[in-house]
Amino acid sequence: MALRTLIARNPLRAAAPVASRGIQTFSLPDLPYDYGELEPAISAEIMQLHHQKHHQTYITNYNKALEQLDAAAAKGDASTVVKLQSAIKFNGGGHVNHSIFWKNLAPIRAGGGEPPHGSLHKAIDSNFGSFEALIQKMNAEGAAVQGSGWVWLGLDKEFKRLVVETTGNQASVKDPLVTKGASLVPLLGIDVWEHAYYLQYKNVRPDYLKNIWKVINWKYASEVFDKESA
Amino acid sequence: MAAAVATPLKFTFSSSHGSTRRLQWRNNQRSVKRPYRGAITAKIEHKPPPYSLEALEPHMSRETFEYHWGKHHRAYVDNLNKQIVGTELDTMPLEEIILATYNKGDLLPPFNNAAQVWNHEFFWESMKPGGGGQPSQEVLDLIKRDFGSFEAFVTEFKAAAATQFGSGWAWLVYKANKLNVGNAVNPLPSEEDKKLVVVKSPNAINPLPLLTIDVWEHAYYLDFQNRRPDYISTFMEKLVSWDAVSLRLEAAKARAAEREREEERARNEYEGDDSQTDPQPVEMYGTDSDDSEAD
């Protein structure tokens, strides 16, 4: 729920649902930077494919599943409603995760890579020892994800602490946000699906993880942290 | 996992699961089954595809093989060898390691690497230069029996590969004498998998794999980027080795028949022995099955 609220609040153009055939569908949000602006950490080619193809496909399939869900619910077709859940979770999760991911990145000229200040910085120090220790932990856990998935820095609102979690595939719409406690808010998610880095880094995921910190938008993470921990 | 247990082409089944028998196996491996050139302990090999790295071009590029076989497959092999060195696993053949580390579902750390090594070997052998086309008459007849038509099978196999969420594999398996298509995340089955999950417990009702396609993104990203459906179509039309499927089918049929005999024998043994309160499937194959299937 927290996640959905964040997305809805976000000012990115076109991220809002659009009405179509009676139900709300989703469309691809614009990136707040150009595809080439994260180079050399992430190539323009990767950014373009990742945004225009992968993210768009999640949205297309999410909308399709939602339309099917709407039709099935209208007919009282319970088994179809249940069957659609995995497609909704996967594709909807892909849309939500990528929408966060784009905001987690920023060109260096726009402050990408600049470590967090203020309350988030303090929270990182007290939870992980240091900013470097957090990065090390996320790199290690991200590298260890088997197959496709994500590594997250989240705020556990219930226990008022920061946590690092990994999720498989696009499961984050549920985990870590719901199944690991309804109060877990994602501050930063790093996509470790191969499509996020393969054209540039091939099999060497650790290099991708090492370099992505140069374009991480800590301002965004800090804003969410301040808002959610207030 | 089940893929490994059931591998029709090269699996010599063993019932050795207990530690005492494992020692026997170790001797056996050294002297007979795994004559690893000059090595003191047997290492799992980084087995090359049965064709050159550019042999599948333009459908699967040499560059893809250089990474997929040369880096990804190799990393699984290297990591597995690191994990098993000095343990009782380090002289077992790959299939035995998978069986042992599957550990009745309570996976031991080397399982993932071992299963991935097996899957990749099986995948390379599922393709050939000039592949595609139609299967042998026998395979075709079975496909028609179980899927209705060859086209229906292709549609189902493609769908399994395309709808595998995230990284994983899609399989054609021989299960209880019926062909079916399944997809499996690797190496663990999840409840969301289609009904024929290859990575399953090593008991006698495991599906026997005939064909697989790797749908991890690294398998196709350099050649097809996000276009997984194009990769799957190319695999089916230009790469699939129906020869391999035919050979595997023969072995699977023999294997299934043997399983039935072994189960029957085990049932009879258990009925006559009340002390066996906790029958373990792997041990149900009897002690003489080591010799019943030659490589």
Whole-number pLDDT of residue B266: 84
Helical segments of chain A, H only = 2-9, 44-48, 56-75, 78-83, 85-103, 118-128, 131-144, 198-201, 205-212, 218-229
- Binding-site residues of A for Mn(2+), in ranges, read 50, 98, 191, 195
Residue A2 has pLDDT above 70, yes or no: no
Whole-number pLDDT of residue A181: 53
B46-63 exposure pattern, b = at least 16 Cβ within 10 A, e = fewer: beebebebeebeebbbee
Question: Does the N-terminal peptide bond of residue B58 adopt cis geometry, omega within 30 degrees of 0?
Answer: yes
DSSP 8-state code for residue A16: S
What DSSP string describes B99-118? HHHHGGGS--THHHHHHHHH
Q: What is the pLDDT of residues B122-171, one digit of tens each?
A: 999 999 999 999 999 999 988 888 888 999 999 989 988 888 888 888 88
Any idea which residue has 């920023």 for tokens? A106
N-terminal to C-terminal alpha carbon distance within chain A: 17
Which tokens in the block code for residue A157?
Answer: 């609102």
Q: How confident is the model at residue B40 (pLDDT cuts 50, 70, 90)?
A: low
Of B22, B55, B63, the C-alpha closest to B221 is B63
- How many angstroms separate the CA atoms of B167 and B214, rounded? 8
Whole-number pLDDT of residue B176: 61
Cβ atoms of B202 and B5 within 8 Å: the answer is yes
Q: How confident is the model at residue B190 (pLDDT cuts 50, 70, 90)?
A: very low
Mean pLDDT of B267-285: 52
**E strands in B203-273:** 208-214
- Binding-site residues of A, in ranges, read 50, 98, 191, 195
Position A18, amino acid: V
Mean pLDDT of B175-187: 62
Percent of chain B predicted with pLDDT > 90: 41
Whole-number pLDDT of residue B257: 82
Mean pLDDT of B67-73: 97
Q: What is the pLDDT of residues A22-61, one digit of tens each?
A: 788 999 999 999 999 999 999 999 999 999 999 999 999 9
- How many angstroms separate the CA atoms of B90 and A70, rounded? 55
How far CA A7 is from CA of A2, A224, B283, B293, in Å, comes to 9, 11, 54, 59
DSSP 8-state code for residue B237: I
- How many angstroms separate the CA atoms of A95 and A7, rounded? 10
Between A110-119, A140-149, B196-205, the lowest mean confidence (pLDDT) is in: B196-205
Q: What is the pLDDT of residues A65-92, one digit of tens each?
A: 999 999 999 999 999 999 999 899 889 9
Whole-number pLDDT of residue A86: 87
- How many angstroms separate the CA atoms of B213 and B161, rounded? 7
Q: How confident is the model at residue A134 (pLDDT cuts 50, 70, 90)?
A: very high
Whole-number pLDDT of residue B71: 97
Question: Does the N-terminal peptide bond of residue A176 adopt cis geometry, omega within 30 degrees of 0?
Answer: yes
Three-state SS at B18: coil
N-terminal to C-terminal alpha carbon distance within chain B: 19
Look at strands B168-175 and B178-185 and give their pairing. Answer: antiparallel
Residue B289 has pLDDT above 70, yes or no: no
- How many angstroms separate the CA atoms of B261 and B158, rounded? 35
> Which of B71, B187, B225 is opposite residue A202, by nearest beta carbon?
B71
> Which of B67, B165, B217 is opposite residue A195, by nearest beta carbon?
B217
Backbone angles phi, psi at A19, to 5 degrees: -75, 135
Whole-number pLDDT of residue A146: 85
Higher pLDDT: B273 or A29? It is A29
Whole-number pLDDT of residue B208: 80
Q: Number of A:B CB contacts under 8 A? A: 55
Cross-chain residue pair A193–B166, CB shorter than 8 Å: yes
Nearest CA in chain A to B69: A203
Question: A2-9 vs A85-103: helix axis angle to the nearest 10?
Answer: 50
> Which of B67, B112, B226 is opposite residue A49, by nearest beta carbon?
B226
Backbone angles phi, psi at A52, to 5 degrees: -75, -30
Tell me the pLDDT of chain A averaged across its residues: 88
B289 touching chain A per CB within 8 A:
no
Contacts of B62 in chain A (CB under 8 A): none
Backbone angles phi, psi at A191, to 5 degrees: -75, 120
For residue A4, list its beta bridge partners.
none
Cross-chain residue pair A194–B218, CB shorter than 8 Å: yes
Any idea which residue has 């299934």 for tokens? B256
Contacts of A203 in chain B (CB under 8 A): 67, 71-72, 75, 218
How would you write A103-136 as a 3-class SS string? Answer: HCECCHHHCCCCCCCHHHHHHHHHHHCCHHHHHH
Nearest CA in chain A to B71: A203
Q: How confident is the model at residue B16 (pLDDT cuts 50, 70, 90)?
A: very low
